[in-house]
Each structure stands twice: as structure tokens, then as C-alpha cells.
Amino acid sequence: MPAPKQSKRVFLSERPKGHISDKTFKSETAALPTPNADQVVVRVDYVSLDPAMRGWLNDTRSYVPPVQIGETMRAGAIGTVVQGNNLLKEGDIVQGTLGWAEYVVVPAKDLRKLSPPEGSTAVDYLGPLGMTGMTGLLDVGKVKAGDTLVVSGAAGATGSLVCQIGKLKGAKVIALASASKCDYLVNELGVDAALDYKSPTFAKDFRETVGYLDVFFDNVGGEILDLALTRLKKNARIVLCGAISAYNSAGQPEGIKNYLTLISQRAKIEGFIVFDYKDRYAEGEAEMAKWIKEGKLKRRYQIEQGLEQCPQHLGLLFSGGNTGKLLVKISKDAAKY
Amino acid sequence: MPAPKQSKRVFLSERPKGHISDKTFKSETAALPTPNADQVVVRVDYVSLDPAMRGWLNDTRSYVPPVQIGETMRAGAIGTVVQGNNLLKEGDIVQGTLGWAEYVVVPAKDLRKLSPPEGSTAVDYLGPLGMTGMTGLLDVGKVKAGDTLVVSGAAGATGSLVCQIGKLKGAKVIALASASKCDYLVNELGVDAALDYKSPTFAKDFRETVGYLDVFFDNVGGEILDLALTRLKKNARIVLCGAISAYNSAGQPEGIKNYLTLISQRAKIEGFIVFDYKDRYAEGEAEMAKWIKEGKLKRRYQIEQGLEQCPQHLGLLFSGGNTGKLLVKISKDAAKY
């Protein structure tokens, strides 16, 4: 695996207003810099596509700096070292923020060398063993046995794990997703019920099936959040993991109106960012690895192809076009999973 | 003080849609029931008017049952026992949920006999020594020295106490109120700044004066809450004590749109109901009484007159017509405060 002289990359060309367009990203092939002693050259094998990436394109105050115009699009990824140093050797499988590129030159200290435990593979570090798996359900949502847990975006990467963790912890789990994914949620992931959020009778179905809820794990925001606010039990917790319905709105998203129930039910809405739990990644990862080994946690990956198609693949997250964790295979030489 | 044979009362006649109207309440004079051995007859001296009372008129699921049609309007009050029993004697000053009436017959066990500590008076039990004073600022808002605390409805009964407790705890306090109340807040209560929320430059003033906030103690909801959401520091806490802007809306209140900052700033909105802190009333009351005795806590009462005018006086809370705690003196024989 010799290090190449040049590499293709996809970079931010223009900040989108609303949805990503053809003009948002551009690609180019450029010379790869020569690594210094602290750096290694990594071939990017798989990149993770996450709803949060849409937020990184906005020039606003947030939990990470926005991606700059001209900068290679930031993305979590796994790759293979093709030119090592004293810390990493050629052939090591690593995880890091590699970005949308064929090859990258990065400090070895920013990479983690992977040795997947029994039952797991390297891509699981982009799924349950990585940030996707550190859902905040237990720390923020404080889900316990007997709770009624409602999960929106339930068939997505994080949602599908939240549903399973909820069941493993003894909660009654009601999953919200589009109609085509409800079977998967009930029959493969074992949730108690799955509701089609696009159904004309959704609000009624929600009231009848859920009754009142203890925890709402929300990936969607907007109207679904507003409906959930009307069905809170006393001391209910809403974990705001994402608000995918709002990420692409050119103006302001639809407002939530039913927040007065937060007072009458002494309830809360709490946002969380996985980075705040860095100290506990190892603990979360160990628990997930154990569940995987025991066959208690199912993973599903939707693996798309092609570096230059990354922008279009990212759009799948906002059109309901993915089930499970969405990845893009970048290198044709990457191991199959 | 002989117990009268009859008493006037004001009762709910029709549930209001939106603002209270002339048809919402009616009054009548009716025979007073004969007390049994567990009951006493109490002359109502002062009733407390609180924004939450508007919510009690709606037939919706909430933290207390709605007031029923025909029922005497529920209200916290202080009064004087005019016919005692083995627990309370004639002349005792008591606090309880007496309602909008001249006289009431109530179980003695539902009343608290008052013995105000040095520096305090009986009406302070409708103010800082009562539920109004148990603001949730410390338990829910977790205000600490150096925090930037923003208070809406700052000149109201709860707001004016929150401002002072914030200062006593070492926070920088920015008060939001109508223009005529800003002087009182700065010069008498000692807040660091007071902003007129009706000013055309309010949003700009807010951004410049507040910068970013640690705690927002909100009595108002609506647009002000939405603005505050754009100015959260990391791990900010929004204490939703009330949403006075929304209580009278006939349909749904204006939605809040900027809730995505809850995620990026890992912040929360938490509602609270003072009843949940019953176990700690004594602790809160003792701290407030100590501050009053030391001259560190100012109280301001706006005392209106007349049982039958209670509905109109209640409207003052929603039109910005009160500064400090709003009471109505019911009995002409009540002690002056």
C-alpha cells in the first residue's frame, strides 16, 4: 500500500440556505502534502454520514466551529494507514475525523487504532461502539424499567440503538418512523409498537398507543415534538438529540406551541452533545460491545458508494432514505463488512 | 366577632376562551353552612391573585383539578377565625385556600395558624414566606455566584423576589419588565440592569446587555423565551415558572422556534410547580424570614379593594398593571399592612 502523490477531496464551496444543492460542495484532485514525523497517511475506507453534518455547514455559534469554505467536509471515518510513523504502522485500521477524501495526512495522535472485540467489526466504531451509540438515553433521559419511552427517527442510526437499549432496560418502547420501516422496528428490533408518523391518523394513533410518556427521545423536532409535549407524564424527560425536521429550513423552523405542559407536568426538554460524555465513552463502548457479543444488539448498515456522491447520500438522511446507520464506502480496497 | 349567617361569594359561571370576561364569574349571597366539630368559620381578610389562577379555569389536565362551574373561585388567602373549635380559636390569623368569599367554613386542619417572625407580617405569607417565595431559582435554576441571570416578569410577585435572591447569591441580574417598572428594579431592588421588553430596540438591548446567559427565569413565555433561547451559554438552565403571555390565548400560543440551541448549548428548559417542594417549604421560609429580618429582602404589595372586583383585579396581572405582589383586601375589618 504505497502512499499516493495526490488525492481527491470534496470541500464546502458555498453555504446552503435550506437543503444542500449542487453548488454546496465541489471536488478536486490535489497533491497530498508530505507527512512530518508526527503524521501518517491514511486511506479513507468508510465515512459516517450524520444529520448533525448539516449543522456544521451553517456559519453560526454551535458546539463545533463551522466547516469553512474551501475546507474538506468534516466526517467521522475509518481508514487504513498507508504510510506510518513511530506510533502507527502501515496496515493499521484507524478511526478519526478524516473527512470526505480518498487519502488524508493527519497527526497519528488524533487517530485511534482499532482492535474490534469478539462479535464486532471496525465499522461498528461508526455505529454502536462510536458516538452514534452514546445516545444519552440513560444519562439524560434516565430511562428505567417500566417507563414508556417514545423514540422519533427510530429506524435511524441512533434511534434504532435507542429503541434496543430501551428494551434492554425494561422500558415499553414506541417507535416513530415512516411506514416502510415499521416492520423492521417491530419484528427485528422488538419494539412494542411502531407508528407511521406520516399517517393521516398519526396524532390519534400516538395518543391511543402511547397514552402518556416518561421519556421522549427526539431526533426530529417540529410537529412531532409538539405532539409529544401534549402527552407528558409528571416529571417526563425529553432528550433533544436532534431536530432533523428543522436542519434544512431556510428560515426559522416551525415553532413548538405546547410547552406549557412542561410547567403543569414539571417536565424538561434537555439538549445534549455526545462530546460532553468523552470521559464515559469507554464505559458506554464496553457495554455496547458486551450486548453485541451476547447477540442482544442488532446493527444495520446502509452502505452507499462513492466519494463524489457523498452530498447526495447525505440527503438520504433528510428524506427518510436510510434505515440504520448510513455509511459511504470510499476506497474500493476497503474491507467488506 | 360573631359568625355571620350568610356570606357573599364569587364563583365560576362560564369557562373563558381567551381573556376573562364579564360572564366568567358571578357572585351571590348565600347562607353559610353550620360548621361541624372539625370545622371553623373564617373571615377572609386578603386574597392572593396569581397568574396561575387563569389556568385553573381551563378544563384541561393540569397539576390541580380545574375549578368547577358553580364553585367558589379558588384562592390562597389569609383570614381571621370568627368561630373556632378545639384546634383554632376566635381571633387566630390563619392562612389557607379560602377562595373568593367573605366568610368560609373549612376544616381547621387545612389551615395554618400564623405567627409572623420578627420583621414579617401576616401578608408576607402570601408573598416571600409563602409559595410566591419558593421560586425554584436555586433548586431548578441552580443559580450560583458569577452567573448571568435574566428574569422576565421581573417586577411581579415572584420575579421581584427572584431578582433579589439572585443578587443575594452573587449573580449578575438583568430584569425584564415594562418601562415604568425599570426604575424600581434598578434603584430599589438593586438589579444590575433592567430592560423595557416593549421597547422597539428590545432584542438588540437584550443581546448587548445580557451577552449570553446562564439562567433564564421565565414568567412570560412566547417571544421573550424565544429570544432568550438564542443567547444561551453552555449548560444554561431555563426555569419555566410561568408563561403569562400564553395563558389567555384562545387558541394555541405563539410557538418557540429557537429550541435547536438547546442541543448546541446542551441546555434545558424545565418546568416546575411549587407544590413539589412541600418538604422544603420550611427551609425556604426560614431563609426568606432571615433575609427579611436582616433588611436584605424588599417586599412590595399592591393591595386592591373589593370581593366583587376580584375578576377585574386578576386582569391586572395580564395587562402589566401590577408591581410586586397583587392582593385584594376582602374584609373592611382586616388588619392594615
Model confidence pLDDT, tens digit, residues A121-144: 999 999 999 877 777 788 888 999
Q: What is the pLDDT of residue B1?
A: 67
Q: What is the pLDDT of residue B250?
A: 64
The pLDDT > 70 percentage for chain A reads 98
- For each of the domains in chain B, give its residue range(s) and CATH number, in order of start: 6-127+299-329 (3.90.180.10), 132-275 (3.40.50.720)
Task: Write the pLDDT tens digit of every residue in A203-228.
Answer: 999 999 999 999 999 999 999 999 99
Query: How open is the CA angle A209-A213-A218, to the nearest 5 degrees?
Result: 100
Contacts of B4 (CB under 8 A, 6+ apart): B32, B82, B102, B103
Q: What is the pLDDT of residue A226?
A: 95
Q: What is the mean pLDDT of residues A152-157?
A: 93
Q: What is the mean pLDDT of residues A224-252?
A: 88
d(CA B163, CA B171): 9
Q: What is the pLDDT of residue B136?
A: 75
CA neighbours within 13 Å on the CB side: how many for A108?
A: 18
Closest C-alpha to B243, from B271, B221, B224? B221
Q: What is the pLDDT of residue B139?
A: 81
CA neighbours within 13 Å on the CB side: how many for B188?
A: 15
What average pLDDT is seen over chain A?
Answer: 93
pTM of the model: 0.88
Q: Find the CB nearest A271 among B221, B242, B266.
A: B266
> Distance between terminal CA atoms of chain B?
20
Among chain B residues, CA nearest to A265: B63
Q: What is the pLDDT of residue B133?
A: 72
SS3 B304: strand
Q: What is the pLDDT of residue A1?
A: 66
Residues in a beta bridge with B302 = B326
SS3 A66: coil
Q: Is the pLDDT of residue A251 over 70?
A: no
Blockwise average pLDDT, block size 10, chain B, 337 residues: 89 94 96 96 97 93 92 97 97 97 97 95 93 78 95 94 95 97 96 97 98 96 95 96 79 82 94 84 90 94 96 93 94 91
Helix axes A202-210, A222-229, angle to 10 degrees: 40
User: If you search the block for the grid coordinates 430592560, which residue do you land on?
Assistant: B195
Query: How open is the CA angle A74-A77-A82, to the nearest 5 degrees?
Result: 110
Q: Is the pLDDT of residue A250 over 90?
A: no
Residue B305 CB neighbour total at 10 angstroms:
10
Q: Is the pLDDT of residue A27 over 70?
A: yes
The pLDDT > 90 percentage for chain A reads 81
Q: What is the pLDDT of residue A327?
A: 97
Query: How open is the CA angle B239-B244-B245, to the nearest 5 degrees?
Result: 110
DSSP string of B128-149, one letter each residue: TTSGGG--STTTTS---TT-EE
Contact B301, B48 (CB under 8 A): no
Distance of CA B335 to the CA centre of its chain: 22
d(CA B245, CA B144): 28
List of chain B residues whose C-beta atoms are within 8 Å of the C-beta of residue A260: 221, 243, 246, 253
- Tell me phi and psi for residue B281, to 5 degrees: -55, -45
List of chain A residues whose C-beta atoms are within 8 Å of the C-beta of residue B268: 268-271
DSSP A122: G
d(CA A81, CA A274): 27
Q: Find the CB nearest A266 among B221, B256, B273.
A: B273
Q: What is the pLDDT of residue A311?
A: 97
> Distance between terminal CA atoms of chain A?
20
Contacts of A295 (CB under 8 A, 6+ apart): A119
Indicate the pLDDT class of residue A252, thresholds 50, 70 and 90: low
Q: Find the CB nearest B246 among A61, A260, A267.
A: A260
Q: What is the mean pLDDT of residues A85-103?
A: 97
Q: What is the pLDDT of residue B252?
A: 65
Nine cell digits for residue A252: 426559522
Contact A153, A220 (CB under 8 A): yes
Looking only at the bridges linking them, the beta strands covering B93-97 and B76-83 are: antiparallel
d(CA B102, CA B29): 9
- Is B63–A264 a contact, with Cβ atoms under 8 angstroms apart? yes
Distance of CA B288 to the CA centre of its chain: 16
Contact B24, B57 (CB under 8 A): yes
Q: Is B278 on the interface with A (CB under 8 A)?
A: no
Helices (H), A189-332: 202-210, 222-229, 261-264, 281-293, 310-316
Helix (H) or strand (E) holding A157: helix A157-168
- Is A263–B253 a contact, with Cβ atoms under 8 angstroms apart? no
Indicate the pLDDT class of residue A274, thresholds 50, 70 and 90: confident
Task: Write the pLDDT tens digit of every residue in B14-29.
Answer: 999 989 999 999 999 9
Q: What is the pLDDT of residue A93?
A: 97
Task: Look at phi and psi of residue B70 and say left if phi exceeds 0, alpha if psi is from -120 to 50, else beta.
Answer: left
Nine cell digits for residue B19: 381573556
Q: What is the pLDDT of residue A115?
A: 94
DSSP B295: T
Q: What is the mean pLDDT of residues A62-85?
A: 96
Burial class (CB in 10 A: 0-12, 13-18, 19+), B165: buried
Q: Is A275 on the interface with B (CB under 8 A)?
A: no
Q: Is B258 on the interface with A (CB under 8 A)?
A: yes
Q: Is A30 on the interface with B (CB under 8 A)?
A: no
Q: What is the pLDDT of residue B251?
A: 65
- Tell me phi and psi for residue A279, to 5 degrees: -60, -20
d(CA A235, CA B89): 41
Nine cell digits for residue A222: 417540529
- Is B262–A240 a contact, with Cβ atoms under 8 angstroms apart? yes
CA neighbours within 13 Å on the CB side: how many for A212?
A: 12
SS3 A171: coil
Q: Is A260 on the interface with B (CB under 8 A)?
A: yes
Distance of CA B224 to the CA centre of its chain: 19
SS3 B236: strand
State the nearest Cα–Cα gap between A11 and chain B, in angstroms: 23
DSSP string of A69-115, one letter each residue: TTSBPP-EEEEEEEE--SS--TT-EEEEE--SBSEEEEEGGG-EE--
Residues in a beta bridge with A215 = A149, A237
Q: What is the mean pLDDT of residues A76-82?
A: 97
